[in-house]
Structure 1
Amino acid sequence: MNLFLKKPKARRYILWGLSLFVVFSALFAASFSYYLYNEIKNRFSSRRWSVPSRVFSSSVPIYRGQALSLAQMRHMLEERRYKEASKEPVLAGEFKSSGNSLVAHLRDFQFPGLFLPSQLVEFDFEQNRIVVIRSPKEEISFLELEPLEIARLHGPGGESRMLIDIRQVPKHLIDAVVAIEDHRFYEHSGVDFFGILRAMLADFRAGRVVQGGSTITQQLVKNYFLESERNFRRKFVEFSMSLILEALYKKDDIMEMYLNEIYMGQVGSVAIHGIGEASAYYFGRNVEDLTLSEAATLAGMIRGPNSYSPLVNRQASLESRNLVLKRMLALRKISLPEYDSALLEVLRVAPASTSARIAPYFVDYVRMQAQELYAPETLASQGLAIYTTLQPEMAAAAETAIRDGLAEIENVSGEGSDPDQSKPSRRLQAVLIAVQSKTGELYALVGGRDYAESSFNRALKGRYQPGSAIEPFIYLAALDRFKLSDWLFDLPVAYELNGVSWTPRNYDGRYRGKVAFRDALEQSLTAATVNLAVETGLNEIIGTLKSFGIESPPGDLASLALGSFLLTPMELARAYAVLGNDGQKPFLLSLKEIVAENGDVLERRHIDFSSVTSPAKAFLITSLLEGVVERGTAKGLKRLGVDFRCAGETGTTSEFRDSWFVGYTTDLLALVWVGYDDNSPTGFTGAQGAAIIWTRFMNLMRPWIQPQEFDVPPGIVEEMICPDSGQLATAHCKERKLEDFLSESRPNGYCTIHNR
C-alpha cells in the first residue's frame, strides 16, 4: 500500500521538476533571446563601422584649348587609377587612346559634399593642346576631373572601408558571393541545417575539414559581434544571433551589412574591409562598375583574401575566380556565353596608387588643422570628407622642380660634391609654395627636399632671413614720399647703430652715385635701399610689413633694410600675394570644407581678404618687379624659358646663406627658398639658386596658367618722362620713356636738362 502511494507521489515530483525545468528554460531562452535582440538592435541603431576620414585634393579643370598633351592626360588618368581598356566598349574607370585621340569613361565621384557624374568623353589633341572635348551627345567646353584622395586619417586599428548601399551593387556580384559562400542564402532563416549536414558528410568522407557550413548571416555575426575564440558557447551564441538577425532584418539589409564588413586583404598595416573598398583598391572601379569577371574574383577572395589576392598570387586568384564562375553557371546565375566571356577576360588590376605619396607636407598641414577641430578618434572613425585646395598636378610638379632643380644647382655650384652631403643637415634643402593670389588658395606646398628623410615642414616652421626679398615692401612704404622717377643716392653713407658705425655695401662693391627709384629696386642696390629706408622712416616701414602679414619685423634700421631678420616662407608668400591681388591681403586657404557622412557641412573656410594698400600702389610695385625680370637681377629667367608676363624678386642674404625667388603672374604666385638647415653659406644668389627651381616649376605649369598683362587700376597715370632728369619729357630730350605714377603724385615739371 505504501509503495503504491509513493509511486504517484514520485511521479508528481518528476512532473513538477520537469515543469520547473521547462519554465526556467523558457524564461532563460526568452531572457537570452531578449538580451541578444537588444545587443543586435543597439549595435545596428548606433554607428555600425569605423570609417577613416578621407582627405581630397581639389578637382581639376579640363577645357578646350588647354595646353595639355595626350601623354599628360594619360598620366592624370593613371594617377587616378584608371586602366587602359583592352576591348570595346570602354567601361567606367577605363580609357583608350588612338592616334591623337583619347576616350575616357569618367566614373562617378560620389562622396559627401561632392558629386561628379559618370560620363564618356573623347579628347582630340593637336600640338600638345586639347582642341575638342565631346560626349556621345554634344561637344563640351569644360569638365572637372575628379579629385585625388591624398590621405586617410586612420586610427590605431588601421581599417580602411568605403561604405556601399545594396542598391549600388550589381546583381552579378551578389550572385557570385551567394554562389560561393552560401547558395541557399535566400532560402534559410540564418542557419542552414542542410548545409551543416552536407559539410559534416563531406568532412567525414575526406577525413579532414574540407567544407564549411556557416551561412552568410553566421559569418556576419561571427565577424561583427563575436570574438575569434572557438568553443561551444560561442557557436551557440552565433546560431542564436543569426536566427534573431534574420527575424529582424530583410535579406538585402543583411547582405549589405555583410558586403560592408568582410575582410578583403592587407596593405601594410591597413586592413581592407568591405567590397566597396576592395573594388576601388584592386580594380580602380566603383562597385557598380565591376565586370562579371572582377566580381567573381572578389567573391573568390572572401575565403582567403591574402591567399587569393590578384596582387599577391595571380594564378591562385585566377583559379578561384574560375571556380566562382563555374559555380554560378551550375546554379544558373549566368549563361554559358557569359561564363565563356568572363573566363577569357584578362585579370587586370588597377595601377598602383601614387596619391598617398603626393604632397606629404601639405597633408601634414591639413591634418594639423583638422586635429585642431576634431579629436583623433573622430577623424579615424566618422568617415568625414575633407576637401582641400591642393592641385595635385601642381603639387607633383613642385616636387619634380625641387628634385631636378637642386640636382642642377648642386651640379653647377659643386655643392653636391661636399663629403658631408651624406648628413641630412648638410644637404641643400628647398621650399616651394604656390598660391592663387586672387583667392588665397594654396595649390602646392613642399616643405623640404625629401619627406622620407625629414618631415620638418620648412615652409611653415623654418625661419630664415629674407635678405633682398624684403625690398619691395620698403619701396612700397616709400611711395607716399617718392615717385618712380625720383632719384636716390647710391652712396656709401655711414650710419651709427647702437654706437657702432655701419656703412651699407652693394653686392658688387660698386656705387652708382645717383640712381632712379626704379633702377635701385630692379638692380637690388643695398646702399640706395638703405638710404631710402632712412628717408621713409623706420616706423612707416614696420607698419607696412606688419599689415602685409610679416609678424615679427625687426626694430632696427640695418636688420630691416638688409632683410637680416627671421620669418617663415609662408609669411613672405602671404605678403607677396597682396601685391598680386591689388593690395588685398588674402587668407591663405588650404582646408576648404569638412563634410559628414550624411552630407552635412561641418566646417567651411571662406575666401577672405583685408585691404592693406591701394590697388594703385600694389600695381606700381608689380611694375617695378616686372622690371626685375626684364632688366634686373632676374633677367636670366628669359634664358631659362620664361617667355610670359611675370613679376618677381630675387633674395640673397649675407654670406649667401639663403637663396630666394618670389614670382607671380596674373593667375599664380610661387615662392622658392633654398638653403641649408644648419644655415651654412650656399655660395649662390637668389638668381643662381631659387630662381632655377622657380623657372622649372613655372614651365611645368603651362597647362594650368594663362598669364596676361597686369591690369592697370584706377589711380594710375602714365607719363612720358626723360630718363636723365626724371621729369616730363620735352621735344629736346634725347631719350624718352613711359613711366607709371600715382595720379596724385605725377611729375609737375618739364625736363630742366634738355629744355635749354
Structure 2
Amino acid sequence: MKHKRGLGLIAFIFLVLFLVAFLALAIYLVRLDSIVRERFEGQRWEIPAKVFARPLEIFKHAEILQPDLIQELKLLGYKSANDYTKPGTYSIKANSLYIHTRGFDFGDAVEPEQVLALQFDSKSIAEVRTTKPSSTGIVRLEPMLIGGIYPQHKEDRVLVQLKDVPQTVIDALIATEDRQFFEHYGVSFRGIARALVSNATGGTRQGGSTLTQQLVKNFYLTPERTLKRKANEALMALLVEFHYSKEEILEAYLNEVNLGQNGNYSINGYGLAAQFYFGQPLRELNIAQQAYLAGLVQGPSLYNPWRNPELALKRRDIVLNNMLVMGKLTQEQYEREVARPLGVIDKPNLGPAKFPDFMDLVRRQLRNEYQETDLTNKGLRIFTTLDPLVQIRTEQAFKNGVKRLIQGQPNRLRDLQGAAVVARPENGEILAAVGSTQDFTGFNRVLDAQRQVGSLLKPVIYLNALESGRYHWASPIDDSAISIRAPDGKTWTPKNYAGTENGLVPMSRALAQSYNLSAVRLGQEFGIGKFQSQLRQLGVNNNLPNYPSIFLGAVSMSPMDVLGLYQNFATGGFNYPRRSIRAVVDANGGLLERYSLNVSSSISPANAYLINFGLQEVMRSGTGRAAYAQLSSDLALAGKSGTTNDNRDAWFAGYSGNHIAVVWLGLDDNKVMGLTGSSGALPVWTSIMRQLPNKPVNLVQPANIQWQWIDGTQGNLLSAESCSGALHIPLLVNTIPRQVAPCAAHYYQAETPVDINDPTPSEFSNADEIQQYIRQSEEDMEKELSESRVISSGQYAGY
C-alpha cells in the first residue's frame, strides 16, 4: 500500500512538474510570439534617409548636349547596348539617342519606365519621342543617389518587393540555401541530419538552418553560438511560419540578410548589394551576377570579390551548378553564365556620401528642421539641388586650379586651402560645393571658413552712390590719400594696392581697378551707417564692425555668405534664400516639405542694372579681365576680386547669365600666402566657369535707364563716341547731364547753333528736351555725318 502511495506521489509530482514545464513553455512561447509579431508587423528596419541629386529633366529644346546626357546616364549606372530592351540601357545611333529608363517614384508623382528617342542639334535636344504619354512634355530621369543619413548601428539597405525580384534570384537562393523552403514549416530535420552527417564525416561543413531560421537569427537574435539561442531560433522560426506566408518570409529575408561591409556600413539585402557590387538595380543583373549574390550568404567576407576574386568566382559557379541540378537552368544557360567574368565594378560606388561637402550642407539644413531619429530610421527621401555634372566638373577644375598654383610656389603654398560654391542666380539653388582642396574632414570651408573679404564689398559702396542720384559711372572720383581718425583716437591711413594715387578717375574705373582710396572717400561721404544698412538690405547678417576699414572689407564672411551677397547683383536686385534641398518625402511617398521660392526685392531694377554694368567693367577692363583669355567675351560676365591685408585671403565672386560662383583661397592658419584675388582666386574661378554651359548676362533694361556717351573727364557732359575719353554708360533718365561737351556739340543741334569752340557748353532744361532736339535735327545730322548712326529713342549705340 505504501509502495502504491509512493508511486502515486511520484506520478503526481511528475504531473505537476510536467504541467509547470508545459505552462512555462506556453508562457515562453507567448512571449516569443509577441516578440515575433511586434517586430515583423511593425517597423522592421531602421531605414536611413536617402539623399538624391536633382533629376535631369528631358524635354524638347532643353539645352542639353548629347555627351553630357551620356555622362549623366553613366553616373546613373546605365549601360550601352545595341537593343536597349532592358531598363537601364541606352543606344547611340547617328544623331539619335535611345534610352530605356528605369522609372522612379518621386512621392508626388511617379515617372514610368519607358523608352525615349532623342535627337540633338548643336545646342539642345531637338526632338523627343516617348513610349508613355506626358501631360507636361517633360520626362525626368531617376535622380542619382548621393548618400544617406545613417542610424548609429550603421546599417543600410534598399528595400525590394518580392514582385520586383527576378525569379532567377529566388531560384539561386533556394537551390543553394534551402531546397525544401516551400515544403517545411520553419525547421528542416532533413537539413539538420544532412549537416550533421557531412560535418561528422569530414565533408564540406554545412549548416542545417532554413531560410526562415536564418531570417530569425538575423532579425531577432544575437550571433552567439549556444544551445539556448539555437532553441530560440527553432521555436521562433516555427512561429514565423505559423503567422506568415512563405512569400512574406522570403521578402523579409531578401531585405534583411547581410551581404557585405563597406567600411563601417553593413550592406543588407539584395537591393543594396546589387548596387554595391555591380552598380545596377537588382532586376538589371544577369543570372551570373544574381548567382554571385546568392552565394554571398555563406560568407560575405570570404567571398569578397575585390580581396578574393578566385574564391568569389568559384562560389558563384557552385550556385550556378546548384541551379542546373535543380532544373532552374538549362545546360545552355549554365554554360553561358559560367563563362562570364565576375563582372563586379572596379570599386564600391556606395558609401557615406559621394559628394561629402555638398552632403554636409544638406545635413545641416535637415538637422535644423527634423529630429535625428526621423533622419536615421524613417526612410525619408531628400531631393536636393545638386547637379552631379556641375559638382564633378567643379571639383576637378577647383583642385586642378589649386594644384597649378601650388606648383608655382611649392614651399609657400604647400598647405594652400580653399572653397568653391556654384549656384543658379534665378532661384538660389546650390549646384555644387567644394569645401577643401583635399578629402573632406568635417571642416567645410564653404560654410565654416569665416574670412575677411577685402574688396568684395566695394560694389556696395558704389551702389549707395548710384542710389543717391548724385553719381553715375562717369562721375569723377577722387583717388588721393586720406587719413581718418577712428573713434578710439587712432588714425587710419589706407593705401592703394600699388601704393600710388590716381587723382580724379571715372567711377567705373575706380571700381574696375579696385582703387582703395576712392572707395574709402566715397564710403565716408555716405557714412558707415549707410554702408552697414545696405549690407543688411542685401542679406549680410554677419557681425559688421563700426570702423572705417569696413569699406575695404574688414568683415568676416564665408563663401556661402558671399554667394548670397552677389546673388542680389546677378538677379537684377532680388534676394533668394540659398538652398540645397528641393523636397522631403516620407517612406510612403507623402510630401513632408517642399521648399518654395521666398524671393524678396533688395535693389531697385534700375540700380541693379547700373551696378551690374560696373561689375561687367571689372571683367572687361579691370581686375577680372584675365578671365576673357579663356572665356568668351560674348558672355558679358560680371564679377569682383577680393584681397585682404598682406595677401592672406584671395577671393573672386562672379556670374554668367545662369551660374554664379564664388572661390576663396587661403591658409587655415591665416598666414600670408602671397596670392591676390586676381592672381589666385580668379584663375581657379575661370577654370570652373569654363566647365559649365554658361549663358550671357542679359539683365532686362528698365524703362528709366538710358545709354549715353558721357565725357569721361568732367563726368557731367554729354559726349559722343568720337570724342576723346568718352564713356558709353547706362544712366537713370533723371541723371542724364544737361550740358554737352564742346567736342560733341554738333551732334546735338539746337535752335541756336552751338559754337564747338565755346568752352561753355549749351544747356538744356531736361533729358526730354535733349531727345526732342535730337529728333528734330535727325535729317541735318545725317547730311553732316554720313557715318553716324542715331537711334530715335535717344539711346545711342556706336558713339
Taking structure 1 as the reference length, what is the TM-score of the superposition? Answer: 0.89
2:32 corresponds in structure 1 to 36
Deviates further, 274-283 or 710-719: 710-719
Alpha-carbon distance in structure 2 between the residues aligned to 1:680 and 1:532: 31
Q: Please identify, of 336-345 and 627-636, the stretch whose mean Cα deviation from structure 2 is larger.
A: 336-345
Offset, 1:101: 6.4
Letter matched to residue 607 of structure 2: K
The Cα offsets for residues 386-412 of structure 1, whole Å up to 9 and x where unpaired, read as 22222222222222222111222234x
Q: Shift in Å at residue 344 of structure 1?
A: 3.2
1:631 deviation in Å? Answer: 1.6
Pairwise mapping of residues 151-300 of structure 1 onto structure 2 (< 5 A)?
A: 151-204=147-200, 206-207=201-202, 210-300=205-295
Q: Deviations over 1:593-615 (max 9, x none)?
A: 33322223334433222222212
Q: Among 425, 431, 444, which residue is 2:432 paired with?
A: 444
Cα shift at 1:291: 2.4
Matched-pair contact (CA < 8 Å) for 1:442–1:588? yes
Residue number in structure 2 paired with 1:677? 668
How many residues of Structure 1 are paired with residues of Structure 2 in the alignment? 739
Pick one of 541, 550, 570 that aligns with 1:560.
550
What's the CA shift for 1:521?
1.4
Is the aligned partner of 1:657 residue 2:638?
no
**Which stretch of the first structure deviates more once superposed, 547-556 or 239-248?**
547-556
What does 1:527-542 correspond to in 2, within 5 Å? 527-542=517-532
- Amino acid aligned to 1:302: V
* Counterparts of 1:84 and 1:314, CA distance in 2: 25
Query: What is the CA-CA distance between 1:554 and the residue it aligns to?
Result: 4.4
Sort the Cα spacing of 1:731 and 1:617 in 2 relative to 1 into closer, same or farther, 3 A. Answer: closer
Match of 1:640 in 2: 630
Counterparts of 1:42-121 in structure 2 under 5 Å?
Answer: 42-61=38-57, 72-84=68-80, 91-95=86-90, 104-110=99-105, 115-121=110-116
User: For residues 286-685 of structure 1, what are the structure 2 equivalents within 5 Å?
Assistant: 286-353=281-348, 356=351, 358-411=354-407, 414-418=408-412, 427-452=415-440, 455-479=442-466, 480=468, 481-498=470-487, 499-552=489-542, 554-556=544-546, 558-643=548-633, 644-685=635-676
The alpha carbon displacement at 1:723 in A equals: 3.7
Is 2:135 the partner of 1:148? no
Q: 1:240 to 1:408 in 2, by over 3 A?
A: closer
Are the aligned partners of 2:650 and 2:680 in contact in 1 as well (CA < 8 Å)? yes
- Distance of 2:578 and 2:66 partners within structure 1: 33
Contact kept, 8 Å, 1:61 with 1:143, in 2: the verdict is yes
1:198–1:409: structure 2 CA closer, same or farther, 3 Å change rule?
closer
The whole-number CA distance in structure 2 between the counterparts of 1:669 and 1:692 is 15
**By how many angstroms is 1:209 displaced?**
6.2
Q: Deviations over 1:369-424 (max 9, x none)?
A: 3333445444333322222222222222222222111222234xx42233xx56xx
TM-superposed deviation, 1:274? 0.8
Q: Is the 8 Å Cα contact of residues 83 and 91 (structure 2) preserved in structure 1?
A: no
- Give the AA of the match of 2:417: Q
Counterpart amino acid of residue 625 in structure 1? L
2:689 to 698, 701, 718: 698
Q: In the superposition, relative to structure 1, how do residues 747 and 183 fare at CA in structure 2: closer, same or farther (>3 Å)?
A: same
- Structure 2: how far apart are the matches of 1:527 and 1:122? 60
Tell me which of 713, 721, 729 is aligned to 2:718: 729
| Alpha-carbon distance in 2 for matches of 1:56, 1:247 | 40
Which residue in the other structure is 2:748 paired with?
none
Query: Which consecutive residues of structure 2, in runs of 5 or more, have no partner in the other structure?
Result: 746-757, 759-799
Q: Give how far 1:583 is off.
A: 1.3
Give CA-to-partner distance per residue, 1:642-686, whole Å, 9 cap, x none. Answer: 432211112222322222211111211111122222333333332
For 2:285, give the aligned amino acid: L
Measured after TM superposition, the shift of residue 434 of structure 1 is 1.1
- SS, match of residue 250 in structure 2: helix
Indicate conservation of the 8 Å contact 1:725/1:753, yes or no. no
* Contact persistence 1:121–1:134 (CA under 8 A): yes
- The normalised TM-score by structure 2 is 0.85
Residue 474 of structure 1 deviates from its aligned partner by 0.5
Is the 1:661–1:691 contact (alpha carbons within 8 Å) kept by the matching residues of 2? yes
Distance 1:400 1:751 in 2: 52
Q: 1:230 to 1:466 in 2, by over 3 A?
A: closer
Contact 2:454–2:553 under 8 Å retained in 1: yes
The offset of 1:732, in angstroms, is 11
C-alpha distance in 1 between matches for 2:542 and 2:366: 27
Output one character per residue of 1:7-42: Cα deviation in whole Å (capped at 9) or x when no partner: 665565465455445544443343232222111111
Distance in 1 (CA, whole Å) between partners of 2:411 and 2:29 is: 76
Which structure exhibits the higher relative contact order, with contacts defined as CA atoms closer than 8 Å and separated by 6 or more residues?
A: 1
1:144–1:210 CA distance, 2 compared to 1 (3 A): same
Q: How much has 1:210 moved relative to structure 2?
A: 3.1
Aligned to 1:146, the other structure's residue is in SS state coil
Note the C-alpha offset of 1:500. Answer: 4.6
Q: How far, CA to CA, are the matches of 2:404 and 2:716 in structure 1?
A: 45
The answer (yes or no) to whether the contact 2:630–2:690 under 8 Å persists in 1 is no
What CA RMSD, in Å, does the superposition of the two structures yield over aligned residues? 3.1
**Pair 326,61 (structure 1): closer, same or farther in 2 beyond 3 Å:** same
CA shift in 2, pair 1:721/1:24, >3 Å: same
Give the secondary-structure state (helix, strand or coil) at the position aligned to 2:452.
Answer: coil
Q: 2:520 and 2:350 mapped to 1: Cα distance? A: 48
Q: What secondary structure does 1:211 align onto?
A: coil
| d(CA) in 2 for partners of 1:496, 1:7 | 119
| Structure 1: 5+ residue stretches without partners | none
Between the aligned partners of 2:69 and 2:409, the Cα distance in structure 1 is: 37
Looking at structure 2, the residues matched to 304 and 209 of structure 1 have their Cα atoms a distance apart, in angstroms, of: 14
Counterparts of 2:631 and 2:140 in 1: how far apart (Å)? 29
CA drift at 1:752 = 6.0
- Alpha-carbon separation, structure 1, partners of 2:544 and 2:377: 46
Q: Matches of 2:544 and 2:19 in 1, distance apart?
A: 88
Aligned-pair identity (%)? 32
Matched with 2:707 is: 718
Letter in 2 for 1:304: G
Structure 1 residues 674 and 18, CA, compared in 2 at 3 Å: closer, same or farther?
A: closer
Structure 1 stretch displaced more, 463-472 or 378-387: 378-387
Distance change (3 Å), C-alpha of 1:716 and 1:333: same
How many Å separate the matches in 2 of 1:263 and 1:114?
32
User: Mean alpha-carbon deviation: is it higher for 633-642 or for 115-124?
Assistant: 115-124
Superposed CA deviations along residues 528-561 of structure 1, whole A, max 9, x for unmatched, are 2222222223222111012112234645563122
**Residue 746 of structure 1: aligned partner:** 736
Q: Deviations over 1:279-319 (max 9, x none)?
A: 11112222233322222111111111222233333332232
- Helix, strand or coil at the partner of 1:430: strand
Amino acid paired to 1:287? L
Pair 579,127 (structure 1): closer, same or farther in 2 beyond 3 Å:
closer
